[in-house]
Chain A
Amino acid sequence: MMPINPTNARFWSKLGQRGTFGITMLELGRDIDDLVVLTADLCSTSGLDRFRSQFPEKFFNIGIAEQNLLGISAGLAKEGYIVFATSFANFAVMRSYEHVRLNMGYMGFNIKLVGLGSGFAMGMFGNTHYGIEDVALMRAIPGLCILSPSDCTEVMKATIAAANHNGPVYLRLTGTINNPIVNKEDYHFEIGKAISLKSGSEVTIIATGTMVYHALVAAEILESRGISTAVINMHTIKPLDTDAITTACNTSKFIVTVEEHSNIGGLGGAVAEYLCSTPSAPPQLIVGMPDTFQMAGDYQYLLEQNGLTSSQIAQKIVDYIDH
């Protein structure tokens, strides 16, 4: 694998999460004999053009048929292949939902479903292409692992971890090209183990996906206003690292979750489900997308519309504390 350093982190950031996924697959294609990659007519969009040309025998384009994508993936996985299957997050999860449930959940096949362009990354494509309910849906299926990398470096880490994980994984890719950088140096990544990025004594922000970067900037803003703020990168939404949340409960007066997803059923929901059974848990603010469909716009516009820029997140937290 390419070494993790500031130069490479910048390079991957320019490619965005999808492009970095494609580069990582190229490496995995060399290393793993029984690896196959399937896509539903989104080879280039998945960053997989080079993979397709270098490993044509390991690549299958199933056409625009996401349900069949999951079924064929299951057949291949049953026969011992490690299967990566890609489509836009909304199609991968919602068009194929029952196929995901039966093949990845019920039968537990070793399929890594890659949700491209989740959250608001699809911008002007509009609501048909947004991934704003995918985490809620995937969380409800028993046995699924949900990974949501904070930046491109972590896409590489999470993709490798998914390949080595014997079981079904949903890999949720967020953000656009020029993906903000969280991780410039190498670090330990383990499925199910959240990463503490910053300590603080008043507020703990638990963020996932591209929102981790915005949470870090928000924390700086809060510190400048005298509010000591911790930040946790919850790259694995399921299984949830409840130990990290318990620690946050013991060290903070407020818990805030931040995600590029509906306020219903995502990371916020997962943390809330845990907190409601935790005695004396601090109050929780869920920062995500309101329960409504909105007009389309570019990525930055949509973050602003939904109060998900760093300054908006910081202000929401200040308002919550003051309230």
Chain B
Amino acid sequence: MTSQDPVIKKIDQMAQRMRKKALELAFSAGNNGAHIGSGLSIIEITAVLYGGVMKVDPQNPRWADRDRFILSKGHGTLGYYTALSEAGLISFDELSSFEKNGGFLPGQPVMNMDKGIEFSSGSLGHGLSLGVGVALAGKKRGRDYKVYVLMGDGECNEGTVWEAAMAAKHYKLSNLVAIIDANDLQSDGSRQDIMAADYEAIWKGFGWNVETIDGHNTQTLYETLVKVNSTEYPRVIIAKTVKGKGISFMEGNNEWHHNRLTKNQYDAALSELST
């Protein structure tokens, strides 16, 4: 899936490094385990955002006009911290403190503006409301930043997502972009078995601009995310992904929702990425 487009090529290389780093961090977490499946499913999304779409300045993480990213599905840290590291907001040394006692990079994010982490998250269903508030503030202050909120498809079981969806449309938050990591799996199994819902129809019903795309195709992700929103309503991108993407024995296998990696598994996973 390598592209001739230099921007996309750069993003693809970044995603490849992030995937390796995510596995390294998961392995280093030992018996604490990590949310590996979900971390891997969002990697192309965060790589495209931090590698080509979002305005961020690692020298000035509080830059008033920066784009804001909210990891509402807080358990996606492996795909988040690695992107922040690639963007120059977290150093490699700091990254190695992942899931270390008392460290600032636990399994779910802790607000840390020095490191570009806008909010603490982990409890599902909170991020979109936060995003509505931040987007509302942007409109009110006349700033042109965009607000990206990454949620899980399972997360959309939460009622607060829909309270926020209603408000975002009501307040015409065209500066707000929700991205659904639609990997079709949640903690207890298939989303279709647990709480089947036609998200495309529901988001449309809430008045959002809805696009469903391949969440691992960096070219498509990039072209979709850089598009100018010419409407006055928010956008939601349903990114079809594969949980555990990139590692054959993890793909679509919910045992890797949260798990620990043995040395053999780690080596096997890495060998797949180097081929």
A interface residues, Cβ below 8 angstroms from B: 57, 60, 62-63, 65, 67-68, 70-81, 98-99, 102-103, 106-107
Contact = CB atoms under 8 A, between A and B. Distances in A.
Nearest to B134: A75
* Chain A binding surface, main DSSP class: helix
Interface stretch (B137-145, B205-213, B233-241, B251-259): B137-145
Contacts of A70: 129
Contacts of B132: 68, 71-72, 75
Interface string B103-144: 000000001000000111001001011111111111011000
B95 interface: no
Contacts of B167: 62-63, 65, 68, 72
B130 A75 contact: yes
B120 A75 contact: no
Interface residues of B, number: 27
Contacts of A107: 111, 119-120
B166 interface: yes
Nearest to A61: B170
Interface in B160-208: 160, 163-164, 166-167, 170-171
B136 A75 contact: yes
Closest 8 pairs (CB-CB, A-B): A75-B133, A71-B129, A79-B137, A68-B163, A65-B163, A72-B133, A75-B134, A76-B133
A79 B133 contact: yes
A41 to B, nearest CB: 12
B120 A71 contact: no
Contacts of A103: 130
Contacts of A63: 163, 166-167, 170
Contact of B164 (A60, A71, A73, A79): A71
Contact of B160 (A67, A74, A78): A67
A73 B132 CA distance: 9
Contacts of A76: 133-134, 136-137
12 contacts: A57-B140, A60-B171, A68-B164, A70-B129, A71-B128, A74-B129, A78-B119, A78-B130, A79-B138, A98-B123, A107-B111, A107-B119
Contacts of A102: 120, 123, 126
Q: Most chain-A Cβ atoms within 10 A of its Cβ — which of B123, B129, B132, B134? A: B129
Nearest to B165: A68
A75 B160 contact: no
Given A65-B163, A79-B141, A102-B126, A72 B118 contact: no
Contacts of B141: 79
B65 to A, nearest CB: 12
Contact of A75 (B131, B159, B163): B131
B118 A78 contact: yes
Contacts of B135: 75
A151 to B, nearest CB: 33
Contacts of A60: 136, 171
A33 to B, nearest CB: 11
Contacts of A79: 133-134, 137-138, 141
A76 B137 CA distance: 6
Given A63-B163, A75-B132, 11 more contacts: A67-B159, A67-B160, A68-B129, A68-B160, A68-B164, A71-B160, A75-B129, A75-B134, A75-B137, A78-B137, A79-B134
B166 to A, nearest CB: 7
A75 B140 CA distance: 12
